[in-house]
Amino acid sequence: DIQMTQSPSSLSASVGDRVTITCQASQDISNYLNWYQQKPGKAPKLLIYDASNLETGVPSRFSGSGSGTDFTFTISSLQPEDIATYYCQQYDNLPPAPLFTFGPGTKVDIK
């Protein structure tokens, strides 16, 4: 099974700060990596798909990069409404696929 790690597990930053979260896969997953935002008490929301593509309607301050095993998610200028937990998610299409796996999450707070 492919394992996903994320770092940090939590962070606190000021409004306007640049925030970076990393996600690492235990083996090459090409660009099958997506990022989700989950606000307290709400369902997750897709932000970035295929490592670097911004989902329609998502603010451009969110971005993603990477391929293979190492990926990065960035908020260029943190806003109060960005308080949430962020999850990476990989997709494995090798048999007995399809299988999906989430990273453990990164909780983002305002300092």
Partner 1 sequence: EVQLVQSGAEVKKPGESLKISCKGSGYSFTSYWIGWVRQMPGKGLEWMGIIYPGDSDTRYSPSFQGQVTISADKSISTAYLQWSSLKASDTAMYYCARHRLTGLIDYWGQGTLVTVSS
The footprint of partner 1 on residues 63-92 (CB under 8 A) is 85, 87, 89-91
Q: What binding mask, one character per residue, do residues 29-58 give for partner 1 by CB under 8 A, x or -? A: ---x-x-x-x----xxxx--xx----x---
By CB under 8 A, name the one of 57, 81, 96, 111 that touches partner 1.
96
**Residue 74 CA, distance from chain mean position:** 9
Query: What beta strand segments (E) does the chain contain?
Result: 4-7, 10-13, 19-25, 33-38, 45-49, 53-54, 62-67, 70-75, 84-92, 99-102, 106-110
The residue from 2, 20, 68, 104 that contacts partner 1 (CB under 8 A) is 104
Tell me whether the omega of the peptide bond preceding residue 44 falls within 30 degrees of 0, making it cis: no
Sites of contact with partner 1 (CB under 8 A): 1, 32, 34, 36, 38, 43-46, 49-50, 55, 85, 87, 89-91, 93, 96-105
